[in-house]
Structure 1
């Protein structure tokens, strides 16, 4: 009896969507008998925008593409990673053996206001709830999200009773009115938005009358005013625009700030850090230019923000090691066990059309593996003192040159195989033909690369060019600094109730995001006498001036690295006094700069007489994210209607995946990429991922039979 013919699935790209689609298909019962799945990826590691590298020259420190973590509203991602760790079933004494060890909750963020020519800290503490991160069915609908948001606001109002002077707020009466509002929120599930709308207006009219004139001189009261105005305006607009029945997409031709203004939000609120948090963290600046106002589709903004506060367990879930160590490596190891094949060093050069759809995929093979039968082993087992020397599989920041035929020459040349501007020439060409090398292609390569890799597809399907034109991508930048003093010693205010760490935004552009990842230092291997005491990550958008140069301009990455380094230096010199007041030169080694960072606080392993002052920045980590596949996907007004669904490529044997396709969420993110991967798996095999298991996806946007 002959063996059943397996369906050959070629997955292009090594990012979150690619790995998610592979997981959804390969983890199904009997998948090994039905599918032959191969993931093709550029370079020596997986992860895409979430790739991590360990640098052995600096204590095996973690080097990231940016600030990464999970929100408690990442329903799809959290449930997937729970299942990954369950199936991986690591030994109990191994680092990051379980989901609970690999991810930990975070309950607060810290924003800043700039008022009266001074920076004002604005801590936000989010109360935990009893929901479990592996139970996404706990908050299945928009009605549930609204109710969760009203409960959150009630807790904020209760918290304000202890921080706002009683002369400013007649709390008992205010709470009574809000209780009526909360009671009406239950009716929205039955489509009765009118009573809730009236309760909102009654409460808000009373609240404004009693406190609006007082917010200028009281920070706590102003923050409460903005918080209530922000979220109640959001709920009011959702009811008036009938989002429950008509969905979020109807709003996406309008900019978020215009939508808020149309529904009565004050300019104080619209311009506040609370309002700008979403577009800042998702780089929603035209062409990456932070000197211009952010622009974001209103529906995508509302969907993201409303979900953000309807969280499972905690507001956020952060990683116990790097993103690559905590998320990507476990996925890779599990997929290998499930029979998925990986072809690293395979850079897609072109995707061509054929008689039935995609005809051929052409790869530039970047390197030859010495032991072809065994294959390339990409990970490193890193011993960690924190776990008694037990090892954790991690991704290196460079290829294993000893496993590659061309490794010695590659190392001597110092080339970056992940860069489109690399001078390194491919060592071979590989062609996969439809019906031979693949039956179905899942293209999980970011939209920024499609015009380069798929010009024939762009020409054959008239929907592709407007999609690529409407869904803009922007460059981003990241900076990581390891310091020899604690954040508390450098002046970070820790006196706030329930404030547990620094995670903030809306500070100073273009580097407008900052996060405290000091807890990762024990997951690195620094010398005992030079172990850092604190670690900060920064990120932001970067404007692109003119057209990107051709890939033959091999010095372009160097120029962009220099630009990011210069911006990082300027940021530290201009802004650290507001962030960490005791980190400035005048506080560390007076007399000196009263607002600028004292660079002697940076940890430098290669320390000599020349490593003084700003020269110490050279041994930190910064990166421009300029490649077509690593540029951030934005959500500008008018773009949603041009997003194609996973099953709408227009080619019979091609499925598309990524945070750039239509996911219902439609915001560039780990969660959006995970949803894109699940939707691609659904397009390949609807039984593998039923559409109602893509949590947050509008079922009304399911595939028509002709698309499957």
Structure 2
């Protein structure tokens, strides 16, 4: 039997274990997951603290185009069959675990004051995680052009309607490749609208003709026709933008779409075999500027929000925004045109509760073994440098003699969850509270050396990229490609802050359920998460009525001192509450401008210190916790799942080249599936849903 070690229990590693443990491989493969500490999830881990409160690594929102991630979750819940096996569990199906969220927004500073800019995206009947529905070949520049041009038609119709009828523009963003129908013509305003729409329809036809022309001489005339048409539309919207705030915002979006169309045509992405990848060496904002995007658009919350959501600031410096242009085009296309059901999906409990606990249960039933409390220390090469000959682990804890395996889960209000500390009743001796950090005291750890042929045959490296320099020293010394990957693909620390409230967000002045980005430092992203309170176990006397999550990038220099970094995030949270929270919670600020600390839940005193100590914050500076960035040109340094250069080592994580080279759940799931395919000798993208770019199939 072939023995496979999965080194790391994050999304990518568990996805690989899921595919390798399919019933068809049960007689051929033995799969073991090695995990430091007491819980699974990696950067997506969550646990339950005091009163069962959900404590996350950061803010996790699933997007509607995450087909592979949703497919995994759907399979897990179907196999668990909780309605039959655990009918009292409050989350029994994937639809119990996730709810659609179509209301999103960004924040905009206008003449020194911040304003909300929110939108409701049209839902559709498609379901994420299925091969059918709205999602399609959006990694194709041709499809992107068609959909973007049709969106321009909606903008133009909306503009004409506003001009003639003094109404706000009625633009609807939809995942459908066809634009929404407008009411039938019936007057001069409708005639003007039809004329303008006809111009855009002609543009759509010209774009399709350009795609079909390929490299033929006719393409140059079509190219000029398209660029001239885009210039006319751009002037039209520049004029409209001066009339009102609503039109200016719509004009920014139209200008962004026009710049994307113009750049796609000018840079010949329609015929370049690399597709979007042909411009991945450029920064997205700089690429837009090169193709005529207005400075107001480049400074708009639309663009800033995109950078915020992917922590796209070099070394965590907000004055150095950097993000691959090709990936920016792909993500915009996926987010706005390929979502299924809803643009966002909220989890109905912590990510550890709705994703990792069910995965652990289902994998355990399949026979996958878990080795908790085992830290990966080093990979060792064979004498001929062609394979991994040995793996050194550090055993962090010993189980009691009567136990074969550690049970990591507890139950909170009927829901299996990971606790915030090890279940010491299963351990032989007390353990330290820092088992999940790279800097923990290792003097009590027992070294464990695993040998190829005796303990394992193949290994999947599914740690975070930040850990590679610490666990793969021999590989870095031997392989130039590994050295290039580590130096060429960057990670960045992040920070998060969760607050529990004595007053509802609605009473404080905010719209519950809304997620916004693009706000002021230190926390640029805010998500209303009060819908999770029912999953926590607060006593009635606590009177907790709301909860809010905040996150942002953290300067790389903060990683030098983890303790100081934690204190810095605490200071950032205090600064955010005392200086900036009034924009979201006006009722939390007194007439003299001071923050009312009794808004925060605190079991004792209600002063600043006691109130802050009762909240939860994290400085994600550990090498395994840092976010993998997509800086311009970095995709060239990423290795694919089967490109380790060693015949029994495969790679999984959102840091490999998987076709979606971004730090997100979907990328990690895709990478895990590709690692499993590589182990099994299948084509890398076998069974992977969607259309992507830059990865060999």
Normalized against structure 2, the TM-score is what? 0.89
Counterpart among 353, 372, 378 of residue 408 in structure 2 = 378
* Residue 156 (structure 1) shift: 6.0
Q: Residue 260 of structure 1 aligns with which residue?
A: 288
Alpha-carbon contact 1:659-1:676 (below 8 Å) kept: yes
Structure 1 residue matching 2:394: 3-state secondary structure: strand
- Map of 2:390 onto structure 1: 360
Q: What's the counterpart of residue 602 of structure 1?
A: 600
Partner Cα separation in structure 1 for residue 124 and residue 391 of structure 2: 48
Q: Which has the higher mean CA deviation after the structures are superposed, 522-531 or 435-444?
A: 522-531
1:402 to 425, 446, 449: 425
Secondary structure of 1:479's counterpart equals strand
Note the 1:647-666 alignment, pairs <5 A. Answer: 647-666=642-661
Q: For residues 651 and 424 of structure 1, do their structure 2 counterparts lie closer, same or farther at Cα, with a shift above 3 Å needed?
A: closer
Q: Is the 8 A contact 2:101 2:345 kept in 1?
A: yes
Q: Does 1:474 align with 2:515?
A: no
**After alignment, is 658-667 or 197-206 more displaced?**
197-206
- Correspondences of 1:83-162 after superposition (within 5 Å): 83-91=75-83, 93=87, 94-138=89-133, 139-141=135-137, 142=140, 143-150=142-149
CA distance in 1, matches of 2:479, 2:410: 43
Q: Which residue of 2 aligns with 1:485?
A: 503
Counterpart Cα distance in 2 of 1:69 and 1:188: 37
Q: Give yes or no for contact 2:66–2:129 (8 Å, CA) kept in 1.
A: no
Q: Deviation at 1:199?
A: 7.7
| Other-structure match for 1:623 | 618
User: Is the CA contact (8 Å cut-off) linking 2:513 and 2:530 kept in structure 1?
Assistant: no
Moved more, 38-47 or 160-169: 160-169
1:520–1:36 Cα change, 3 Å: same
Distance 1:612 1:576 in 2: 17
CA displacement, residues 172-229 of structure 1 (integer Å, 9 cap, x when unaligned):
2444434444566666775678899678656644444444245245111011101111
Q: Tell me the CA shift for residue 332 of structure 1.
A: 1.1
Matches within 5 A, 1:228-307: 228-244=254-270, 245-290=273-318, 292-307=319-334
Question: 1:515 and 1:194 mapped to 2: Cα distance?
Answer: 47
2:35 to 38, 41, 59: 41
Secondary structure of 2:241 counterpart: helix
Q: Name the SS for the 2:500 alignment partner.
A: strand
For the aligned residues, what is the CA RMSD?
A: 2.5
Whether the 8 Å contact between 1:487 and 1:534 is mirrored in structure 2 is yes
Measured after TM superposition, the shift of residue 21 of structure 1 is: 0.7
CA 1:175–1:23 in 2, change beyond 3 Å: closer, same or farther?
A: same
In the alignment, what sits opposite 1:66? 58
Tell whether the 8 Å contact from 2:237 to 2:254 is kept in structure 1 after alignment: no
Q: Distance in 1 between matches of 2:201 and 2:633?
A: 38
CA distance in 2, matches of 1:120, 1:197: 39
1:146-179 deviations in Å (ceiling 9; x for gaps): 4444555555666777877845987724444344
Q: Which of these residues, 433, 436, 448, is aligned with residue 454 of structure 2?
A: 436
CA distance in 2 between counterparts of 1:419 and 1:25 reads 29
Relative distance call for 1:424 and 1:155 in structure 2 (3 A) is farther
Contact 1:681–1:688 (8 Å) recurs in 2: no
1:446-457 equivalences under 5 Å are 446-457=464-475
The 2-side partners of 1:603 and 1:67 are apart by 20
- 1:284-306 deviation digits (Å, cap 9, x = unpaired): 1111122x131112112222222
- Tell me, in whole angstroms, the C-alpha distance in 1 between the residues paired with 2:53 and 2:161: 42
> Any conservation in 2 of the 1:164–1:220 contact (CA below 8 Å)?
no
Q: 1:205 to 1:239 in 2, by over 3 A?
A: closer
Q: Are the aligned partners of 2:36 and 2:375 in contact in 1 as well (CA < 8 Å)?
A: yes
Distance in 1, matches of 2:152 and 2:612, equals 43
**Cα distance, 1:510 vs structure 2:** 3.1
Matches within 5 A, 1:189-208: 190=212, 201=227, 204-208=230-234
Deviation at 1:702, TM superposition (A): 2.1
Distance of 2:150 and 2:646 partners within structure 1 = 46
1:562-605 CA-partner distances (Å, limit 9, x unpaired): 1110011111111112222222122xxxxx21xx532210011x
Q: Which residue of 2 aligns with 1:347?
A: 375
Q: Is the 8 A contact 2:131 2:689 kept in 1?
A: no
| TM-score of the pair, normalised by structure 1 | 0.87
Distance 1:696 1:191, change over 3 A: farther
Structure 1 Cα separation of the partners of residues 402 and 143 of structure 2: 53
Q: Deviations over 1:365-394 (max 9, x none)?
A: 0001115643100001222xxxxxxx1111
Counterpart-to-counterpart distance in 2, 1:469 and 1:641 = 12
- Could you say what secondary structure the match of 2:484 adopts? helix
Which residue of the partner structure matches residue 423 of structure 1? 441
Confirm or deny: 8 A CA contact 1:598 1:613 kept in the other structure. no
Inter-CA distance 484–152: structure 2 relative to 1 (3 Å threshold): farther
Q: How many residues align structurally?
A: 658
Q: CA deviation at 1:140?
A: 3.4
Q: More displaced, 324-333 or 184-193? A: 184-193
Q: Deviations over 1:214-253 (max 9, x none)?
A: 5245111011101111123223322332334432222122
Query: CA–CA distance in 2 between the matches of 1:306 and 1:147?
Result: 11
What SS does the aligned partner of 1:119 have?
strand
Task: Select between 479-488 and 621-630 the one with higher mean Cα deviation.
Answer: 479-488
Q: 1:560 is matched with which residue: 551, 562, 565?
A: 565
Cα separation, 1, equivalents of 2:555 and 2:228: 45
Q: 1:128-159: per-residue Cα shift (whole Å, max 9, x none)?
A: 12322122354331244544445555556667
Change (3 A) 1:194 1:332: farther
> Contact between 1:665 and 1:696, CA under 8 Å: does it hold in 2?
no
Contact kept in structure 2, 1:151 and 1:182, CA below 8 Å: yes
Query: Does structure 2 conserve the Cα–Cα contact (< 8 Å) formed by 1:181 and 1:196?
Result: no
1:539 to 2:551 alignment: yes
Cα distance change of structure 1 residues 156 and 598 upon mapping to structure 2, 3 Å threshold = farther
Query: Which blocks of at least 5 consecutive residues in structure 2 are unaligned?
Result: 170-188
Structure 1 gaps, min length 5 = 1-5, 384-390, 495-499, 550-555, 587-591, 704-708
- Asked if structure 1 preserves the Cα contact closer than 8 Å seen for 2:38 and 2:372, the reply is yes
Residue 51 of structure 1: aligned partner: 45
Which residue is equivalent to 1:506?
518
Distance 1:196 1:21, change over 3 A: farther
1:227 aligns with 2:253: yes
Cα distance in 2 for residues equivalent to 1:281 and 1:164: 34
